Amino acid sequence: MSRLNPDFSTKLKKYGAFDTSLCYNCGNCTAICSLSDKKNSFPRMMVRASVIGMEDKITSSLDPWMCYYCGECSTSCPRQANPGELMMSLRRWLSAKYDWTGLSGLLYRSLPISLLAFLLTAVAVIFYSFKLNFNVETIMHFGHQFEMFAIITVFAIIILPNVFRMWWSVIIKPKVKVPLKAYFKGAGDLFVHMFTQKRTLGCDDSQARWFMHMVLVFGYLALLFTTVVLDWLGTDNMFIIILGYVESIVIFAITFIFMAGRIKRNKELNKFSQPSDWFFVIWLFLMGFTAFIVRIFIDLNIIENNLWMYLFHLIILAQWAVLIVPFGKWTHFIYRSFAMYFDKITETIK
Amino acid sequence: MENQKSKIGVYICHCGGNISDYVDIEKVKNLIAREEGVHLVNNMMFTCSDSAQVDIVNDIKENNLDGMVVASCSPKLHLLTFRDVAKRAGLNQYNYIHANIREQCSWAHSDKTELATDKAVRIIRAAISKVRLSETLEQIEIPAINTAVVVGAGVSGMRSAIELADQGTNVYLIEKDHFVGGRVSQWGKLFPTEEPGENLVERLYHKVKERENITLFTGAEIKAVNGSVGNFELDVHITPRYINGMCDEAIQDQVLKACHAEVDDEFNFGLTKRKAIYKNYPNAYPETPVVDMDLCDKCGECLKICDGRITLDQKEENISIKAGAILLNTGFDPYEPKEGEYGYKQVDNVITLQQFKRLIESNGDKLVYNGKKIRDIAYIYCVGSRDAKGENKHCSRYCCTSAIHTAVDAKTKFKNIRNYHVTRGIRTYGKQETLFTDSSRQGDTYFQFFEGAMPTVENENGKALIKVKDALTQNEDIEFTADLVVLVTGMVARKDENLVNIFKVPVGSDKFYNEIHNKLRPVETVIEGLFIAGGCQSPKNIRATMASTLAASAKANSLIQSGMIALEPIVAKVNPELCEWCGACDDLCTYNAFEKVEYEGKTVAKVNEAMCKGCGACTPVCPTNAIDVVSLSDTEIETMIDSFVRDVEFATTTTEEKADSFAEVVDFEKQVRVLPELSQRILDSLETEPKAIPDIAKELGVAADDVLYHLMSLRKYGMIKDTDEINEDEYYLYELKK
């Protein structure tokens, strides 16, 4: 017995959902979806659950993560209820729900608070640089250490507890019995999906989207590795330097295409960009681009006189690391992979 | 017998294979030709086709035929067609008899073609023997008064009264209530114009009053009906208003206030009280209020304010009116839920849609019921409709639209309400679908249940708790509370057994009045001159009601306006020599067609030809066998039976004859088909490649029609099939089925 909660869909609208009540349950969306199957039947059921306000059902469901948003459901919806964007909103809502700090939800719901958070982070970086007397070497050293420190802290304090909460809500709370063996057996899937997003290939739209996305993921992870472990901005090794250039070019080139798509709204999935989407793609672009320029400045030996450039890069980096990664759209990288993993290990049971 | 017809023409129809595929037409022809009185026998692909009709007319004229039999489909389809053919050929239409060898023979016995042929011969023989005895008859003409009685002055009754009056028929418009407008005046805003029902009533009322040939009676009830089509006589009982005209509005208000006797207001479905002096609603028509004498205790308060106008000693009266036709526009009742049905009358705040409509009308800015402010409203659909095992199996058609329209209307008027629709599937057909979109757009939530799992309504802390097994959410049980539960009740027939008894109008199992034919004669009843329209016939919205009432008024007008009515002469006739008046026929007759008359010093029965339907029910009960139905006399029936039971003597057929028609092709013992020659040639021709009909016809040098006939038969037997391709002239190509 579920209790109707009509306020839920109003709440969901703050995460980008459209008028869900327009849905008349024809099921065209589910019929046209090439990823929907008997076990994970979506998006209609999720639309319905949103209309009724069945929060428990949604929280325990992996369906929102099973959708890779080709947008076919929205284009074929006879009522313009936009199920594709609803699934996107549910992912945002779920990300906020998994987040124990509650900051995720706050940033998703409110653009002013998001802007304030970005501003405060920038001020903090400038303030700390001021304390370091705007010394290039110390600041760059700090920047490098900050990166390592941030990755470990964000993972330990935010991401891991949140993944734990996700596991709790989709497996423990609904009392899905998963044998321990299954957790090991499915582990391979976790990494396969994390690094290949191969499920996207099931979508009917262009395969180019999957390819670009995968190149971007690899480019991003590689650049992360190159700067954090190989110390790209501090090294003299020619191979590493060139590698870093290539990776940063890959990042800002692909994110540039993605940004252009969102501006042109050329595909269904680009049509309704929320602030969180813009932050994610713009900051990723800026990360690649500023890193690239900083390295050029280093190679041209003009970085000492142009500290502002590095500060700019550091601000972007800090905002990315403390806002977007733990509380923003970045988390979909983790949740999607774990969703595929949880789906795999519950496969035999359901 | 004398006067027997001796030059009869028999026309046997192939019905394009429907008959000839199973009945051996040639064989039938040969056998029929030997029958007594048969002058010629012809077979035709389609007797009902224009060219065939012309051929028959010419045949009759050239051969001077005195009788005609058409053996084809059911007379329900083409009796009138061939009566017309007879008329055009100068033959009396009652000297033509129809033999049904399709529905009653070829279709019913498609698995036994030889026996079907045998039966066809018998059926046609029976028809021939009836034609031989047939009399030349003329239709009965009776005088008719060009006046119509319209019962019920709702929008339907008023509309038909106006229409009849404009066509030159005098109208008596009879309304039981003291105010006109019926249900529509209770309805508030109407889709799609958003015009209030009151306005429609007002417009129609003024048009009624403008016409001198409409007489409106209010407070009038029909007590008895005598006579028959063209000459009905009705006894009408009239309750007066007890008020002669009215003082000005201010005094009128004072009078309404001064009256202290109160009763539940039926017009508002009991939501409010009304006084003994009342109007249904402020702008009700006629404008004069009325005194409810059953309620009035004659305290005299009103007389102190407005003496002279209020005359409590007015008398009830009975009048008698005459009319040629009667139109029943008596409308419907909203279904009254049983106590406890979805918590009705048990859980607070459960009301019907009709009450809710009045509630919206009577509330100001805020929606309040029983002193509580209403925010969440649940609508439960199909209450008293679509009840497969219960009394009301029908869908009332208007309720989905009305409920959604009301929900949209309520939301527009009272901004912060929320609507929840618990439905069995939404049926906002046609243009009304836009309402459903409006409702979704404004945020209404829909649930859907099936008949097996009905929702429940119970009380939860002063609110109504609705539980529904929601088909849209994988049959999960969902519950929610509402401040108001609106039962979307359908239409049921009015509880007016009185009228049913008076008019003897047939009612269906759903208690609504029945027409003669659901599709072909939708506003006529089996009682000649009695028409039905609007909600008394079946659930209808206003638009459909108007269509039916206009149809009924057109039918009524065309029936009586000439002053003469032509009736079928096939009626019962009493032989006064034999009749000894026992009254058995009179007791039995459904149509009250018998009357007592004096004949040579004794009392005998006589049939009123205008009322008799020729059903024949009276003939077997007559102890002296004095009654016969014209053209269905005992002699005729007996001769027909004799012709039917006489053995059919088939001549042995040769193989060549066998190949003549498709009916021959089955070798019963071996179950092997012997194909006609042309069929075989067509198959040979298709051996090489798929071909179109004109190409085959050209190749074989035969008519395209013949190819078509054989091709269709071949297809039916599964020997060829159509390809999806067409040739350059856009003819379909056919190929062999291997």
- Summarised one tens digit per residue, pLDDT across range B432-487 is 999 999 999 998 999 999 988 999 999 999 899 999 999 999 899 999 999 999 99
Whole-number Å distance between alpha carbons of B419 and B411: 8
Tally of domains in chain A: 2
Provide mean pLDDT across the span A219-240.
92
> What confidence score (pLDDT) does residue B151 get?
97
Residue/partner pairs of B459-463 with CB below 8 Å, 24 or more apart: B459/B343, B459/B347, B459/B348, B462/B348, B463/B349
Q: By the CB < 8 Å criterion, does B418 face chain A?
A: yes
DSSP state of B269: T
> Are A86 and A126 contained in the same domain?
no
In a domain, A278, yes or no: yes
In a domain, A1, yes or no: no
Q: B451: which 2 tokens?
A: 């008949």
Whole-number Å distance between alpha carbons of A30 and B416: 33
Candidate from B445, B467, B480 with C-beta closest to A21: B445
> Are A14 and A134 contained in the same domain?
no
Length of chain A: 350
Could B441 and A1 be called an inter-chain contact, meaning their C-beta atoms sit closer than 8 Å? Answer: no
Domain boundary among A48, A73, A98: A98
Tell me what the pLDDT averaged over chain A comes to: 92
Assess contact for B224 and B237: CB atoms under 8 A: no
Residues of chain B with pLDDT under 70: 1-2, 246-247, 307, 651-674
Whole-number Å distance between alpha carbons of B25 and B106: 11
| Helix (H) or strand (E) segment spanning residue A336 | helix A332-346
> Are A161 and A230 contained in the same domain?
yes
> What confidence score (pLDDT) does residue A348 get?
66
ipTM of this predicted complex? 0.88
Whole-number Å distance between alpha carbons of A23 and A48: 8
Domain boundary among A98, A127, A156: A98
Q: Give the pTM.
A: 0.77
> Are A87 and A235 contained in the same domain?
no
User: Hey, which residues does A241 pair with through a beta bridge?
Assistant: none
> What confidence score (pLDDT) does residue B157 get?
97
Q: By the CB < 8 Å criterion, does A79 face chain B?
A: yes
> Are A110 and A62 contained in the same domain?
no
Please list, in sequence order, all residues whose beta carbon lies within 8 angstroms of the beta carbon of residue A102, skipping any fewer than 6 positions away.
A96
Residue recorded with tokens 């389809």? B77
> Are A84 and A136 contained in the same domain?
no
Whole-number Å distance between alpha carbons of A292 and A285: 11
CATH numbers and ranges of domains, chain B = 8-137 (3.40.50), 147-239+322-331+494-565 (3.50.50.60), 249-311 (no CATH), 336-490 (3.50.50.60), 569-630 (3.30.70.20), 675-736 (1.10.10.10)
In a domain, A146, yes or no: yes
Is A343 a residue whose pLDDT tops 60? yes
Nearest CA in chain A to B482: A4
Could A19 and B441 be called an inter-chain contact, meaning their C-beta atoms sit closer than 8 Å? Answer: yes
Please list, in sequence order, all residues whose beta carbon lies within 8 angstroms of the beta carbon of residue B14, skipping any fewer than 6 positions away.
B20, B25, B43, B44, B45, B46
| Amino acid symbol at B310 | I
Candidate from B437, B443, B479 with C-beta closest to A4: B479
Could A79 and B437 be called an inter-chain contact, meaning their C-beta atoms sit closer than 8 Å? Answer: yes
Instruction: Quote the radius of gyration of chain B (alpha carbons, Å).
Output: 34
In degrees and rounded to multiples of 5, residue B248 shows phi and psi of -70, 170
> Are A159 and A293 contained in the same domain?
yes
> What confidence score (pLDDT) does residue B361 get?
86
Q: Is B376 helix (H, G, I), strand (E, B) or coil?
A: strand
Q: What residues make up the domain containing A74?
A: 7-98
> What confidence score (pLDDT) does residue A250 get?
95
CB atoms closer than 10 angstroms to residue A163: 19
In a domain, A2, yes or no: no
Instruction: Quote the radius of gyration of chain A (alpha carbons, Å).
Output: 21
Assess contact for B510 and B405: CB atoms under 8 A: no
Share of chain A above pLDDT 70, in %: 99
> What confidence score (pLDDT) does residue B671 get?
45
Q: Mutating which of A3, A4, A22, A82 best tests the B interface, going by the most B Cβ atoms within 10 A?
A: A4
Whole-number Å distance between alpha carbons of B438 and B333: 28
Domain boundary among A63, A98, A133: A98
Q: By the CB < 8 Å criterion, does A80 face chain B?
A: no
Whole-number Å distance between alpha carbons of B593 and B607: 6
Interface size A-B, in CB pairs within 8 Å, comes to 51
> What confidence score (pLDDT) does residue B730 get?
81
Whole-number Å distance between alpha carbons of B96 and B498: 43
Q: Is A148 helix (H, G, I), strand (E, B) or coil?
A: helix
Q: By the CB < 8 Å criterion, does B449 face chain A?
A: no
In a domain, A83, yes or no: yes
Q: By the CB < 8 Å criterion, does A45 face chain B?
A: yes
Smallest Cα distance from B419 to chain A, Å = 10
Q: B518: which 2 tokens?
A: 């659901």
In this predicted model, what pLDDT tens digit does every residue of B612-670 receive, in sequence order?
889 899 999 999 999 999 989 888 999 999 999 988 887 554 444 444 445 444 444 44
Could B441 and A22 be called an inter-chain contact, meaning their C-beta atoms sit closer than 8 Å? Answer: yes
DSSP state of B401: H
Whole-number Å distance between alpha carbons of B659 and B676: 5
In a domain, A127, yes or no: yes
Q: By the CB < 8 Å criterion, does B460 face chain A?
A: no
> Are A334 and A236 contained in the same domain?
yes
In degrees and rounded to multiples of 5, residue B200 shows phi and psi of -60, -45
Q: B245: which 2 tokens?
A: 């005209």
Assess contact for B275 and B256: CB atoms under 8 A: yes
> Are A198 and A282 contained in the same domain?
yes
> Are A150 and A168 contained in the same domain?
yes
Provide mean pLDDT across the span A276-283.
94
Nearest CA in chain B to A5: B480
> Are A50 and A115 contained in the same domain?
no
Candidate from A1, A21, A49 with C-beta closest to B443: A21
In degrees and rounded to multiples of 5, residue A341 shows phi and psi of -65, -50
Whole-number Å distance between alpha carbons of B35 and B24: 17
> What confidence score (pLDDT) does residue A349 get?
60
Measured between beta carbons, the chain A residues lying within 8 angstroms of B478 are 1-4, 52
> Are A123 and A76 contained in the same domain?
no
Whole-number Å distance between alpha carbons of B122 and B129: 11
Nearest CA in chain B to A18: B441
CATH number for the domain including A89? 1.10.1060.10
Q: Is A208 helix (H, G, I), strand (E, B) or coil?
A: helix
Candidate from B440, B472, B479 with C-beta closest to A48: B472
Provide mean pLDDT across the span A55-63.
94
